[in-house]
Amino acid sequence: MSATLAAKYPLLDQEARTALRAAEPNRFHYQAQGGAYLNLRGLALAPLPEIDEARIANLCRVVRGLLFAAVDGAQSGHPGGSSSKAEQVVTLLASGALGFDAWNPKAAGRDRVVWSAGHCSPLFHALLALVYQTLRRNGDSLTGDDARMAVYPEDLARFRKWGGPSGHVESHYALADTSTGSSGHGISAGLGFAALHRSSGLATRAFVIAGDAETEEGMTYEARNLASNLGMENLVVTLDYNGFGIDGPIFEVMPAPYINHWFAFGWNVIEADGHNPRELAYAYRLATEGFGPGRPTVVIAHTRKGTGYGRLEGTGDSHGTPLPHAEYVDAMRQLGFPIPGVKGEVANDIAVVTEALGESDIAYLTTRLRAAAALVVPEEDLVERMRTALAGRPIRDYTAIQRPDALPAELVFPEGEVVATRKASEAWFAWAMKNTAFFYVGAGDLMKSILTGKAENVYGILSRTNELGRGIRFGIAEQNMAMMSCAIAQDTLPGGFRPMTAFASYGVFTCMMANSIRMTLIDNSVNPKANAFFIVLAAHDGPETGEDGPTHHGLFWMSLFIAYPGIKVYKPLDANEAVEMLFHAVSRRQPVVFSVVRPGVPVLRRGEGVPPAREAVNGAYVFRAFRDNGKPKLVLAISGGQVMANTLEILGDIEASHDVKILAVTSPQLFEELRRDNPAKAAAIFPDEERQFVVALHNGWRGFLYPFLLPGDHAERCFGMDDFSRSGSPKEIYHHAAFDPAGIREKILSACGAGAFACAPKGLITSEGRTHSNN
C-alpha cells in the first residue's frame, strides 16, 4: 500500500498533498481518544433543590469580602486566584459531592482535599472562617487540640503574621490534607491519596483545587498520565481556568486549546461556568456519581481572575498584588460592604463583612454542612471494609514492625562474601511487604537495576486490574513519584493505620525529587500528627556507575538532604549494616535517604574488636581501635563500603608509621544526634581530643564528613536557621529565630562563654548585666 501510495502521490509536492487530501481526507484527521466529555456552559439545567443559588451567591460575597480584607491587612497575599475560585469551593462544600464533617474535620472517612493552588490561602482561610463562624453562631466550636483546625473571621486580621493564618495552605487546618505552596505539586498529592484509599478497599475521594497555570509544571504531566493509566476514578480536580499565570496569559507558555492538556491524557472533562453554582454543582455531582467511569475527572471551571477586585480584575497582576488601600475600600463597597476602611484597622472591616451573614445564610450553610457530614462513613465500618478487601494480609502498619531478636535467614548476609547493599534493601523491602498491609514501593523505571521488584511482586503492581497492588510503576517521572509517595505516607487510614513508602532512583537523580520531599518535611513540621515516614532509596551511590560517566556518578547528592531539617542520610558500609539501619529507620519514624550501591562490597567480618553490625545505627562506630604502640596517632573516618575495603588493603603500609584507629561512619547526622543525646556513648566512640588526628575519606562530597573534622564545640559556635519557620513578616521571623539584634547578641555571648572558646574582651557587659572577663 505504501509503495503504491508513494508512486501515486509524490507528497513533497504541494499539489500532490492537496490531491491526497481530497481523495482520502481521513489521513489528515486524528480522532482524539480521551475520556468522557460534557460541556455544561450555558446549558438550561434544571434547578437542584439543595442548591440555593441566592444563598450561595451571598456566601461567596462574604468570602470575597473576608479574603480581600485579609490581603489588605497583610498588604500581602494572592487575591486574584482566590477570588476567581470562590464559587467553586463554596459550591463544592454545599453540593453534596464532598464528604466533610465540620464538627470532626479530620474524621477518618472524610474525602481528602488538596489545595494544589496553595497560594490561594486568602480564600482558604476565608472559607474556614465562614464555616466556623456558622458553627459558632449555632453554639458549636472546636475545642482542645482540634481548635487549631478552625479559623474565625477575627483571625483574618492577623493573616500572614506570626501566629496568624498561614501564608500558604497547611494541613493542620480543616479542609486541607497536605501543606501546599509549590505550584503543580497538588495533583500528585491528590493522586497519592486516591491511590492509597482505593488500594485499601475504600471509596474515599480526593478533590484537588488547582489553577490552570499549574499544568505548565512538568510534574502535573507525570501525575495526569499515571492517574489516567491507573483509572483513578476517585480523583476529581476542580480547575480554575482563568487564563493567567503570574507573568501573563498562560498561552504565552502552553499551546491552545487548553482542554487538550487533559483530554489527551484520557481524563473525563466537564466544562462549566466557574461563577455559576448550578453548573458547578451538577459538575461535581456528575464527577462523583459515575460520569465516565474508570477515569479521573477534571472540572474545567471558566472564571475571571480577580473577580470583584477593582481594576485588577481580569489581569495577571491580581495574582499576588494587593490593591492600594483606597482602591480596596472602593472594591469592598462595590461588593456592598459599608466598611470603615481605616488603614491599619482591618479588623473593623472584617466585622462589617461578618455581619452580612444573615440568619438564613447560617441556616442554609448549616443544613449543607450537615449533609456533607452525613457522607462521612463511620470509621468502624471503613476498617471492616479494609479487612475484607485485604483479607489474608497482616492488617498492621509500619509502627508494628520490630527487628526480630533472631533475624530471618534472608536478612543475614555471610561475612566475608561480596554483596551489593542493594541486595540488602531488596531483601528487607520484600520482608517488610509481607509484614504490613500498608507498604508501597516503586522506582523511576529502574526496578530491574535498583531491585525493588521482589517487594513490588508480593501483592503485585497497582493497576486497573489489580486495585489492591502495592508496587507502583511510576515510569521516568521522579517528581510525581516523590510527591505521590510522600502524600501516601502523610495520610492516616481508618483505624489509625499509617502507610509507609519507599521510592527509588539513582542517588544522582534524587535532586529531581527534592522539592516534593521538602514540602513533605514542612508538612511534618507544621502538622506532626500527619508525620510521614518514607524511605528515599538513593541507589548506585558513589562512582560505581563508572562506565556511565559523570552524569550517573552519585557523588554529591547527599549535600542537599543534609541541609534539610527532619530527614537524615544513612550510608551503610555493608549489607548487614543496611538491614540494621532500615530497622532503625522504621523505629525512629523519621524519613531517611538511604544509600545503596550497585557492585558487591565485602560483608565486614565482625568480632575480634569489630562490633556487631547493629552499631551502625549510632552513625559511627570504632571498626579498629588504637594499638597504643607509641607511634603518632591517626584516626581514619571512613564512609563507603568500597572505601573501607580499599583502605584495609593498604592499612599495613599506614600502620608502619602510625597508630591507626578506624572510625566507620554510616550517618554523620545520627552521630551528631548521639553526641547531643548520649554524650558519654559518643565520646567512647570518638572523643573530641581525637579530632586533631582525623583524616576523613568518603567516596563523594567531602563535606559529608566535616562533622568529624570540625572542633568539638562547633554546634555551640555555629548558628543558623535550622528548622522550618512559620508565616510572618521578615522582622517577626528574625525575632523568633533569635536572629534579631538581641538574639544575635545572645548567640555571640553564649559562644564566647562556651568554655574552651573564650572571645569576649575584658570588661564586656553581658545581656544579664554581668561583666564578662577573660581572666
Q: What is the pLDDT of residues 547-604, one digit of tens each?
A: 999 999 999 999 999 999 999 999 999 999 999 999 999 999 999 999 999 999 999 9
The CA distance from 480 to 221, in Å, is: 9
Q: What is the per-residue burial (b if ≥16 Cβ within 10 Å, else e) of 342-362?
A: eeeebeebbebbbebbeeebb
The closest of 523, 500, 510 to 479, measured between CA atoms, is 510
In the three-class reduction of DSSP (H, G, I as helix; E, B as strand; rest coil), residue 624 is classed as: strand
- What's the full length of the chain, in residues? 775
Count the neighbouring beta carbons within 10 Å of the beta carbon of residue 751: 17
The closest of 356, 507, 390 to 444, measured between CA atoms, is 507
CB 270 within 8 Å of CB 298: yes
Q: What is the CA 551 to chain-centroid distance, rounded?
A: 27
pLDDT at 758: 55
Long-range CB pairs of 151-156, under 8 A, 24+ apart, other chains included: 151/125, 153/66, 153/129, 153/350, 153/351, 153/353, 153/354, 154/347, 154/350, 154/351, 155/125, 155/129, 156/66, 156/69, 156/70, 156/73, 156/125, 156/126, 156/129, 156/346, 156/350
Q: What is the full DSSP assignment across 504-544?
A: EEEGGGGGGGHHHHHHHHHHHHH-GGG---EEEEEESBBTT
Q: What is the full DSSP assignment across 170-200?
A: -TTSTT-SS---STT-HHHHHHHHHHHHHTT
Stretches where the chain sits below pLDDT 70 are 1-7, 754-775
pLDDT at 491: 98
Written as nine digits, the cell of 549 is: 560517566
Phi, psi of 269 (to 5 degrees): -125, 125
The CA distance from 143 to 137, in Å, is: 15
Bridge partners of 665?
Answer: 620
Which residues are within 8 A (CB) of 326 and not within 5 positions of it... i.e. 6 or more apart? none
> Model pTM?
0.95
The CA distance from 167 to 209, in Å, is: 17
The closest of 716, 685, 682, 710 to 696, measured between CA atoms, is 710
In the three-class reduction of DSSP (H, G, I as helix; E, B as strand; rest coil), residue 606 is classed as: coil
State the residue for C-alpha cell 442554609: 364
Q: What is the full DSSP assignment across 353-421?
A: HHHT--HHHHHHHHHHHHHHHHTSPPHHHHHHHHHHHTTTS----GGG----SS--GGG---TTSEE-H
Q: Is the peptide bond before 257 cis (omega within 30 degrees of 0)?
A: yes
pLDDT at 31: 79
pLDDT at 230: 98
The CA distance from 36 to 219, in Å, is: 24
The CA distance from 522 to 539, in Å, is: 25
Q: What is the CA 322 to chain-centroid distance, rounded?
A: 28
